[in-house]
Structures are given as C-alpha cells and as structure tokens.
C-alpha cells in the first residue's frame, strides 16, 4: 500500500534537509518544504529533494494574482509535485495559482491547525471550500487535530484530496485524521526530531494503514 504520509522538513540546514530526505523519501508519499528551507537554501532545494520523493511546496501563497503566478511558476520549474495556497485572498488570486501550476496539484487552505485559525479563517471555511472548488483546486488543507472539521470538509467536497497538518506535535492522531476523511497526513517535528526518524515513519505508516 502506498504511504499516505507527508513529512514536513522544516530544518534549518540544507545538508540536514537532504540527509533526511535521503533516509525517508522512499517511505513517504511526499516531503513538504516550507519557507525556512527555501530562504536558507534557495529554490534549488526543491529540485534536490525531488530526487528522493515528491515535493509539496508549502508556500501558503497569499498575494495578488501576478505575484502568485510568479511564485507558482518557480515551484513548477524546480519540479514540485504540489503547492499550497491560501484562499482568503479571493477567487482571482487562487485561480492565478491554479492556472500557473501546470500538472502540479494545488491545495487550498480552508482551515488551519493552530488556535488563531478560529478568529478569521474557520468562520469562513464553507465559503472558502465552495470558492476553491469553483476555482479548480485539487484539494484542501484542513486540521488533523480536529477530526470533526476534516469530516465536514470531506462532506462539502467529495472527490477532492484532503491533506492534514496538526498531527503529532500539535496533538492530532494520524489514524483519527484518516478515519475522518483525510487522504494525506502531514507530520513534521515528531519525525525529524525523533531519535530514529525511519522507525517513526514506519510506525506512522502502520498507524495510517490500520485506519484505512
């Protein structure tokens, strides 16, 4: 069974990112790279990590359409498999990401895993899901530490890919997220700070497999 695990490598040294990618890349669905890795190493790290696994660029793109297009085109050029975009900036901005993405998957943020998401994003989740479907997003980012919210998003958007952060260090359980309707589970700190990351990935894969 193919892994449903996405590992976020928010490490502060390029060599550490590459070393970890080499260890776990064949055991996970994808590796997620956020701004820390890009700012420290440049966009080439997307291409370098792609040698070991699919890469999802967690850029949470949130700008005017032209800027969004430029960011997305660079991720595509470097070989990313997917990109994460905010949706609160509106249909035109999200649509610019989707139109520039080529064959990359575009994941729209409609609910987040930190408490502050309850202030502005979560009250508008329904509208963000509807708009993202209309814009043509491949799927959504929803909170893995809130299974009820995942289930609600799944009900609103059958057939779309749901990818969930908030598992591990933020308290969510991989199995709970999958049972609630998630397709992919994102785990970061509890893997890359583990004494044995390969073993931890194996444990998470087993937990996810037993929940399918």
Catalytic residue IDs: 60
The two beta strands, 161-164 and 82-86, are: unpaired
Q: What are phi and psi of 80, to 5 degrees?
A: -65, 150
Can you tell me whether residue 54 is helix, strand or coil? strand
CA 146 to chain centre: 16
Burial pattern 174-199, b for ≥16 Cβ within 10 A else e, equals: bbbbbebbbbbbbbbebbbeeeebee
Token readout for 32 is 């997620």
C-beta separation of 53 from 26 below 8 A: yes
Q: Which two tokens stand for residue 15?
A: 């060599």
Instruction: Record the tokens describing residue 76, joined without a space.
Output: 């595509």
From the list 59, 6, 11, 71, the residue with the least C-alpha distance to 35 is: 59
């Amino acid at each position: 069974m193919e892994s449903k695990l996405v590992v976020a490598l928010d490490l502060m040294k390029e060599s550490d990112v590459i070393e970890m990618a080499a260890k776990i890349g064949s055991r996970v669905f994808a590796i997620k790279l956020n701004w820390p890795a890009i700012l420290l190493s440049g966009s080439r790290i997307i291409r370098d990590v792609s040698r070991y696994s699919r890469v999802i660029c967690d850029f949470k793109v949130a700008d005017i359409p032209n800027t969004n297009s430029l960011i997305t085109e660079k991720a595509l050029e470097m070989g990313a498999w997917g990109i994460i975009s905010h949706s609160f900036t509106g249909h035109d901005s999200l649509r610019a990401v989707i139109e520039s993405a080529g064959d990359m998957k575009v994941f729209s943020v409609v609910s987040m895993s930190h408490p502050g998401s309850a202030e502005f994003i979560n009250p508008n989740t329904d509208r963000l899901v509807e708009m993202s479907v209309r814009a043509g997003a491949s799927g959504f980012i929803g909170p893995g530490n809130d299974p009820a919210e995942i289930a609600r998003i799944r009900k609103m958007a059958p057939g779309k890919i749901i990818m969930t952060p908030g598992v591990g260090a933020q308290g969510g359980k991989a199995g709970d997220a999958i049972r609630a309707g998630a397709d992919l589970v994102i785990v970061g700190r509890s893997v890359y700070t583990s004494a044995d990351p390969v073993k931890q990935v194996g444990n998470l894969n087993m937990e996810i497999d037993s929940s399918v």
